[in-house]
Amino acid sequence: MKKILIIDDRPKRKERHLSKEALAQLAILEDKEMLTTSTGFENLSENLDSIFKPFDMIAIHNSYLSNLGIYGEVTEYIKKSEKYLIVFSGGIPQNTILNKGQQLNINSTDFYTDKLPSFIESFCNESIITNPLLKYLYGDSWKLTLLLQYRYLLWKYADIKKINVDKEYKLAKQLKSILWDGNINKSIEDINKEIELEKERRINL
């Protein structure tokens, strides 16, 4: 069984966003030891591996990371591990997938939703095996969503290398790394074919 850790230095935050039913479901998941919640750990920076080792996914509020000055340290740790990281905050204006799908930066209102308990249970029971953060953000149609985003950028700039907006260039690189491991150049015609195949696959599920 997999396990998830949520670190939020303001535990009342989730109560503002989640229904009573969802909060009760989270409490049950804690009883089953699928979920652990914490307001923080002493000397986290010095003990990242020992604290994070039991968990397969870690969700941390950005203010906690910022106050400790360990955002970079935590993201580097996640890159080297096979774990997943969710960084959530009300100050995050755009939900973003990073590090080839290993990290999700997400607004608190999109993280603390009533689908959170079912996602945790599915992930811990290994019903979700691949791309769990993409599935949490976009649902089962995550691949179609990413293909449409990449097609739009390719249509807008004709060539990804010509993107002159830093945020869009980074997005294009992330999409390419997730969809094709970053090594393949695709034309709009190629992407259109993949979009149609993905639509057919979704219909036949």
The pLDDT value recorded for residue 182 is: 67
pLDDT band per the 50, 70, 90 thresholds, residue 100: confident
Identify whether 116 is part of a domain.
yes
The stretch 26-49 carries a mean pLDDT of 92
Is the model's pLDDT at 180 over the cut of 90?
no
Per DSSP, the chain holds a count of helices (H) and strands (E) of: 11, 6
Is the model's pLDDT at 28 over the cut of 70?
yes
Identify whether 136 is part of a domain.
no
The pLDDT value recorded for residue 43 is: 85
- Mean per-residue pLDDT over the chain, rounded: 91
Q: Does 113 lie in the same domain as 51?
A: yes
Quote the domain boundaries for residue 173: 141-203
The stretch 123-128 carries a mean pLDDT of 86
Domain boundary among 79, 97, 129: 129
What's the CATH code of the domain at 106?
Answer: 3.40.50
The pLDDT value recorded for residue 205 is: 65
Question: Which has the closest alpha carbon to 16: 157, 88, 148, 113?
Answer: 113
How far is 198 from 53, CA to CA, in rounded Å?
A: 36
Identify whether 135 is part of a domain.
no
Share of the chain above pLDDT 70, in %: 99
Is the model's pLDDT at 129 over the cut of 80?
no
